[in-house]
Structure 1
Amino acid sequence: MRLHRNLCFAVIDGILEVFNDGNYADKVIQSLLKRDKRWGSRDRGFVAETTYDIVRWKRLYAEIAEVKEPFSRDDAWRLFAVWATLKGIKLPDWKYFEGTPTRKIKGRFDEASKTRKIKESIPDWIDELGVKELGESLWSKELSKQNEQADVILRTNILKTTKKDLQLKLQSEEIETIEIEGYPLALKLVERANVFKTEAFKMGWFEVQDASSQLVAEYLDVQPGMKVVDACAGAGGKTLHLSALMQNKGSLIAMDIYESKLKKLKIRARRNGAHNIDLRVIESTKPIKKLKAKADRLLIDAPCSGLGVLRRNPDSKWKLEPEFLDKIRGTQQHILQDYSKMLKPGGKMVYATCSVLPSENQEQVATFLTSEAGQNFKLLKDKSILAHKSSYDGFYMALLEKTIS
């Protein structure tokens, strides 16, 4: 591979924005890719994947490069040199790479790889937490898998097409996909591509959604004509899936505390042809009280640490703080106890997170069931998905039923 200056400069700028300015990697990369309209798909792929790679392996690369945050521009070039050397890419004769100890880099890598938290590039406290909650062996396997690049998975929008027709349409646009056993609406891209530019996307034939995430709406067991509430809808990936499963029949109420996210959902719903969605911003307790005992089905896709989706958001492990985790556990329990009041007797509810920690998952459900708010609920089943076992995102989902007293 031959390195090109303008692409490398973009990566260096991106690294500094993520690490020194605290900006989110996905937003930084979106901005970088708009720099030069002449860049082709390979150029754009290099910028995005290299930036994500260096963000993912920050601790390991910084250890090898012997640099510390905040990174200077020279430090960023040293991180880049480590990345290139470990990838087997010959460094060009540029001033930024003068004196790069190529042989030493490989030796330092071997030494650093003896310690898991450095090898897998994770903060000490998250490593200790993972061991405490999952055990040494399970956590090591999960951490290793979370450092692999995630596949691009599509969910067929059955309001507009079938999986087979979507596959053929994408094939006509030179995008090859394969089916995934056990995931009825999923297609996996054979090679990474910008699917958002396809005619199939503009027609609303699919959404990009990880395979594990696609299981959540299915778990809720919705039927056409029901009154369904998605209480933490966000930008609405699971809301749109629920609408499709309901065949656009019945009432689907998408709620969130962020109006900006619901506005994105409105745009996506229009493209998807999902017409049974009613958007409601949670600005006070009123929207919850108005729906007391009204919902046949309730989805609580709770805010969480995101430790099941580090493959997609590698910068989040550097932004997480122990205090946030303590706070979010309190928020999860509050949401469970408060929002569950919207469910009618005989109704079913799913509590879900994209975390692999039992303290955010099974333990939250157990606490809820022993509380006053959860006394009329029973756990029907739950499912814990680990990335190293499924090859997809880490997720948890629990199906509960409100008993008829």
Structure 2
Amino acid sequence: MRLHRNLCFAVIDGLTLIFNEGNYADKVIQQLLKRDKRWGARDRAFVAETTYDIVRWKRLYAEIAEVKQPFDRDNLWRMFAVWATLKGIKLPDWKYFENTPSRKIKGRFDELSKIRKFRESIPDWIDNVGLEELGEAKWTKEIAMQNEQAEVILRTNTLKTTKEKLQNILHEQGIETEFIKGYNAALKLTERANVFVTDAFKNGLFEVQDASSQLVADFLDVKPGMKVIDTCAGAGGKTLHIASLMENKGQIVAMDIYESKLKKLKVRARRNGVHNVDLKVIDSTKPIKKLHNKADRVLIDAPCSGLGVLRRNPDAKWKLEPEFLDRIRVTQQEVLQQYSKMVKPEGKLVYATCSVLPSENQNQVEAFLKSEAGVNFSLVKDKKVLAHTSGFDGFYMALLERKS
């Protein structure tokens, strides 16, 4: 591979924004890819994947390069040189790469690879939490898998097409996919591609949604004609899946504390041909109280650490702090206590997170069932999805039923 100056500069600019300004990696990369209209698919892929790679391995590369945050541009070029050397890429004769100690880089990599927190490039505190909650063997495998690049998974919008028809349509547009056993609506891309520019996407035939995330709506056990509440709907990935399972019949109330996210859901719903969703901003306790004892099904896709989806959001591990984890556990129990009141007798509730930590998952459900609010509920089943065993995102979901 030959390095091109303008592409490398784009990566360095992106890393400056992510590491020093605290910007989100996905947003930065979106901006970078608009930088030069002459860039082809390969150029764009280089910028996106190299930026994500260096973000993912920040701690390891910084340790090898012997640099500390905040990184100046020289520091970032040194980290870039580490990345290129370890990838076996010949460094060009640029001033940024003068005196790059290639042999020392490889030696330091071999040395640091024996220590998990460096090998997997994670903060000490996350390594400690994972070790404590999952145990040595499971955590070692899980955090290694969380550093693998995530595959692109599509969810067929069954309101408009079938999985088989969608596969044929995408094939005609030069995008190859395969079925995933055990996932009713999922198609996996065999090679990465920009699916958002396809007519199939613009016509609402699919959404991009990880296979593990697709399990949640199925877990909720919805039927056409029900009243379903998605309490932490966000931009609505699971809301739209629920709508397709309900065949657009019945009512879905999509709630969130952020109106901006619900506006995105409105646009997505229109594209998906979904018309049984009502949007409600949670701006006080009133919207929740009005829905007490009204819902056949309630989904709580709870705010969480996101430690099951680091493959998609590698910068999250650098933004997370121990205090946030403590606060989010309190929030998770609060939403369980409050939102469970919307379930009517004999109705069902799903509590889900994209975390792999028991303290955010089964421990929260156990605490809820022992509480005054949870005494009328029983656990029907739960599912723990680990990335290293499933091949997809880490997730947790518990199905609870309210007694009559």
TM-score for both structures, normalised by structure 1:
0.99
Query: What is the CA–CA distance in structure 2 between the aligned matches of 1:111 and 1:71, rounded to whole Å?
Result: 23
Q: 2:47 corresponds to which residue? A: 47
Query: What is the CA–CA distance in structure 2 between the aligned matches of 1:40 and 1:216, rounded to whole Å?
Result: 37
Deviation, structure 1 residue 259: 0.2
Q: 2:92 corresponds to which residue? A: 92
Secondary structure of the residue aligned to 1:184 is coil
Query: What is the CA–CA distance in structure 2 between the aligned matches of 1:113 and 1:251, rounded to whole Å?
Result: 53
Q: 2:238 corresponds to which residue? A: 238
Query: What is the CA–CA distance in structure 1 between the aligned matches of 2:304 and 2:287, rounded to whole Å?
Result: 22
Q: 1:249 corresponds to which residue? A: 249
Q: 1:331 corresponds to which residue? A: 331
Question: May I ask how many residue pairs the two structures share in their alignment?
Answer: 404
Query: What is the CA–CA distance in structure 2 between the aligned matches of 1:4 and 1:193, rounded to whole Å?
Result: 22
One-letter amino acid of the structure 1 residue matched with residue 206 of structure 2: F
Query: What is the CA–CA distance in structure 2 between the aligned matches of 1:368 and 1:267, rounded to whole Å?
Result: 35
* Matching of residues 380-391 of structure 1 within 5 Å: 380-391=380-391
Q: 1:278 corresponds to which residue? A: 278
Secondary structure of the residue aligned to 1:181 is coil
* Matching of residues 55-94 of structure 1 within 5 Å: 55-94=55-94
* Matching of residues 210-221 of structure 1 within 5 Å: 210-221=210-221
Secondary structure of the residue aligned to 1:304 is coil
Query: What is the CA–CA distance in structure 2 between the aligned matches of 1:333 and 1:359, rounded to whole Å?
Result: 11
Q: 1:378 corresponds to which residue? A: 378
One-letter amino acid of the structure 1 residue matched with residue 150 of structure 2: A
Residue by residue, what CA displacement relative to the aligned partner does 1:171-196 show, whole Å, maximum 9, x if unpaired? 11100001100101000001101000
Q: 1:392 corresponds to which residue? A: 392
- 2:359 aligned with 1:354: no
Deviation, structure 1 residue 336: 0.1
- 2:311 aligned with 1:311: yes
Deviation, structure 1 residue 292: 0.5
Residue by residue, what CA displacement relative to the aligned partner does 1:4-40 show, whole Å, maximum 9, x if unpaired? 0000000001111100000000000001001001111
- 2:2 aligned with 1:27: no
Secondary structure of the residue aligned to 2:355 is coil
Q: 2:343 corresponds to which residue? A: 343
Q: 1:9 corresponds to which residue? A: 9
Query: What is the CA–CA distance in structure 1 between the aligned matches of 2:26 and 2:311, rounded to whole Å?
Result: 12
Give unmatched runs, 5+ long, in structure 2. none
Query: What is the CA–CA distance in structure 1 between the aligned matches of 2:66 and 2:115, rounded to whole Å?
Result: 16
One-letter amino acid of the structure 1 residue matched with residue 188 of structure 2: K
Q: 1:292 corresponds to which residue? A: 292
One-letter amino acid of the structure 2 residue matched with residue 94 of structure 1: W
Secondary structure of the residue aligned to 1:383 is strand
Q: 2:195 corresponds to which residue? A: 195
Give unmatched runs, 5+ long, in structure 1. none
One-letter amino acid of the structure 1 residue matched with residue 98 of structure 2: E
Q: 2:113 corresponds to which residue? A: 113
Deviation, structure 1 residue 226: 0.2
Query: What is the CA–CA distance in structure 2 between the aligned matches of 1:156 and 1:374, rounded to whole Å?
Result: 35
Secondary structure of the residue aligned to 1:253 is strand
One-letter amino acid of the structure 1 residue matched with residue 320 of structure 2: L
One-letter amino acid of the structure 1 residue matched with residue 165 of structure 2: D
One-letter amino acid of the structure 2 residue matched with residue 268 of structure 1: R
Q: 1:18 corresponds to which residue? A: 18
Q: 1:369 corresponds to which residue? A: 369
Query: What is the CA–CA distance in structure 1 between the aligned matches of 2:173 and 2:5, rounded to whole Å?
Result: 31
Query: What is the CA–CA distance in structure 2 between the aligned matches of 1:292 and 1:228, rounded to whole Å?
Result: 12
Query: What is the CA–CA distance in structure 2 between the aligned matches of 1:154 and 1:178, rounded to whole Å?
Result: 10
Secondary structure of the residue aligned to 1:327 is helix
Q: 2:167 corresponds to which residue? A: 167
Q: 1:141 corresponds to which residue? A: 141
Residue by residue, what CA displacement relative to the aligned partner does 1:62-85 show, whole Å, maximum 9, x if unpaired? 011110000010000011000011
Moved beyond 4 Å, runs of 4+: none
Residue by residue, what CA displacement relative to the aligned partner does 1:217-237 show, whole Å, maximum 9, x if unpaired? 000000000000000000000
Deviation, structure 1 residue 114: 1.1
Deviation, structure 1 residue 240: 0.2
Secondary structure of the residue aligned to 2:278 is strand
Query: What is the CA–CA distance in structure 2 between the aligned matches of 1:42 and 1:175, rounded to whole Å?
Result: 16
One-letter amino acid of the structure 1 residue matched with residue 372 of structure 2: E
- 2:128 aligned with 1:128: yes
One-letter amino acid of the structure 2 residue matched with residue 374 of structure 1: G
Secondary structure of the residue aligned to 2:6 is helix
One-letter amino acid of the structure 2 residue matched with residue 359 of structure 1: S
One-letter amino acid of the structure 2 residue matched with residue 157 of structure 1: N
One-letter amino acid of the structure 1 residue matched with residue 275 of structure 2: H
Query: What is the CA–CA distance in structure 2 between the aligned matches of 1:195 and 1:241, rounded to whole Å?
Result: 19
Query: What is the CA–CA distance in structure 2 between the aligned matches of 1:339 and 1:181, rounded to whole Å?
Result: 33
Residue by residue, what CA displacement relative to the aligned partner does 1:88-127 show, whole Å, maximum 9, x if unpaired? 1100111110010011110010011111000100000000
One-letter amino acid of the structure 2 residue matched with residue 53 of structure 1: D
Query: What is the CA–CA distance in structure 2 between the aligned matches of 1:156 and 1:93, rounded to whole Å?
Result: 48
Secondary structure of the residue aligned to 1:89 is coil
Q: 1:264 corresponds to which residue? A: 264
Deviation, structure 1 residue 314: 0.3
One-letter amino acid of the structure 2 residue matched with residue 291 of structure 1: L
Query: What is the CA–CA distance in structure 2 between the aligned matches of 1:15 and 1:136, rounded to whole Å?
Result: 32
Query: What is the CA–CA distance in structure 2 between the aligned matches of 1:13 and 1:262, rounded to whole Å?
Result: 32
One-letter amino acid of the structure 2 residue matched with residue 20 of structure 1: N
One-letter amino acid of the structure 1 residue matched with residue 394 of structure 2: G
One-letter amino acid of the structure 2 residue matched with residue 312 of structure 1: R
Deviation, structure 1 residue 273: 0.2
Query: What is the CA–CA distance in structure 1 between the aligned matches of 2:33 and 2:204, rounded to whole Å?
Result: 24
